[in-house]
Amino acid sequence: MSPAPSTSRSGRRHHAGPLQVLALVNQKGGCGKTTTAVNLAGALARRGERVLLVDLDPQAHATMAVGVAPEGPTLAEVLLEEAYIEQAIVEGPLGLHLLPSRARLIEFEEASERLLHAEQRLQHALDAVRDRYDFVVLDCPPRADGVLCANALFACTRALLVVETGAFALQGALQALRILEGVGESQERTYPVRVVGTLFDRSQRFARELLIALHARFGRALFDTVIRTSVRLREAPAMGLPVHALDPASRAAADFDALAAEVVADRAAAPHEPHALHIGAAPEASALTT
């Protein structure tokens, strides 16, 4: 049976599939996680999808990148169980909703060792708003083995491994997969993983070769879309706008439109996930041993 059509915030009617919760991860700093989270969220919102962007980084870069300076509760208060998620969600550009972050998120990280099932708190919080969204996009901090990333991986329906097409990217990506696998084992769950290349500069031979190597290693799990290096993507966060709000005709917006189209196609294919690697609990299903 096909799902009932729903009306998006933009008024466009579409056939929403099951809620997709995407965790954008890599333990490598500065590889484009936040840029990809913010602009993929923007591209999905522009397509008429109902999108919640969640900032899981105490640095609050995603929060700033959509021009929000939180005055009320944030994800920190939600995870510390001082506020309800509905009180913390705010509206951002392009009809996006944001669950903002602030430095106080570090307090949750510190408190988590004393908490039972600390890694399940985001998932439980999201339960209250699940039917309001088509996509939840989780921007993870660089510490992939920390409790914030564990929350993202526990809550996600799929992980997107963000790989900068630069030096040591393949080794970094494989190391990240091992961390994801370890988290999956400790959480006794398996999740599908897809890989997205970022900061791609076609004029660099090294970057082209790296892309070929990523494809050889990850096959169909590597998205066809690669996010190219773009000045617009550097400018947009300083203006507090996703690139679709700043310059919808830009090359960067086109890249994220293409990525959003692939992510939407993945939803249509769920739960079979033919393109994804399956990482986590079941050792025989390990994509790392193949």
Ligand X SMILES: Nc1ncnc2c1ncn2[C@@H]1O[C@H](COP(=O)(O)OP(=O)(O)OP(=O)(O)O)[C@@H](O)[C@H]1O
- Told to check if 165 binds ligand X by CB under 6 A, we report no
- Told to check if 35 binds ligand X by CB under 6 A, we report yes
For residue 197, CA distances in Å to 54, 132, 234 come to: 21, 30, 17
For residue 44, CA distances in Å to 125, 160, 263 come to: 22, 15, 9
Q: Which is nearer to ligand X, 35 or 225 (CB)?
A: 35
- Residue 271: is the preceding peptide bond cis (ω within 30°)? yes
Identify the CA nearest to 138 among candidates 90, 101, 164.
101
Q: Which does 30 bind (CB under 5 to 8 A by kind): Mg ion, ligand X, none?
A: ligand X
CA dihedral sign of residues 121, 43, 10, 102:
positive
* E-assigned strand segments in 3-82: 5-7, 13-15, 20-25, 51-55
Q: Which does 219 bind (CB under 5 to 8 A by kind): Mg ion, ligand X, none?
A: none
- Told to check if 244 binds ligand X by CB under 6 A, we report no
Q: Which does 130 bind (CB under 5 to 8 A by kind): ligand X, Mg ion, none?
A: none
- Cα–Cα distance between 42 and 54 in angstroms, integer? 13
The answer to whether 51 and 45 have CB atoms below 8 angstroms apart is yes
- Told to check if 28 binds Mg ion by CB under 5 A, we report no
- Told to check if 222 binds ligand X by CB under 6 A, we report no
- Told to check if 26 binds Mg ion by CB under 5 A, we report no
Q: Which is nearer to ligand X, 151 or 229 (CB)?
A: 229
Note the residue count of the chain: 290
Q: Which does 72 bind (CB under 5 to 8 A by kind): Mg ion, ligand X, none?
A: none
Instruction: Figure out which of the listed residues 20, 26, 34, 198 binds Mg ion, where binding follows CB under 5 A.
Output: 34
What is the closest distance, in whole angstroms, from the C-beta atom of residue 35 to Mg ion in the complex?
8
List the interface residues with ligand X, window 44-63 (CB under 6 A). 57, 61
Which value, in Å, is the radius of gyration of the alpha carbons in the chain? 18
Q: Which is nearer to ligand X, 19 or 233 (CB)?
A: 233
Q: Which residues bind ligand X (CB under 6 A)?
A: 29-35, 57, 61, 142, 198-199, 227, 229-230, 233-234, 237
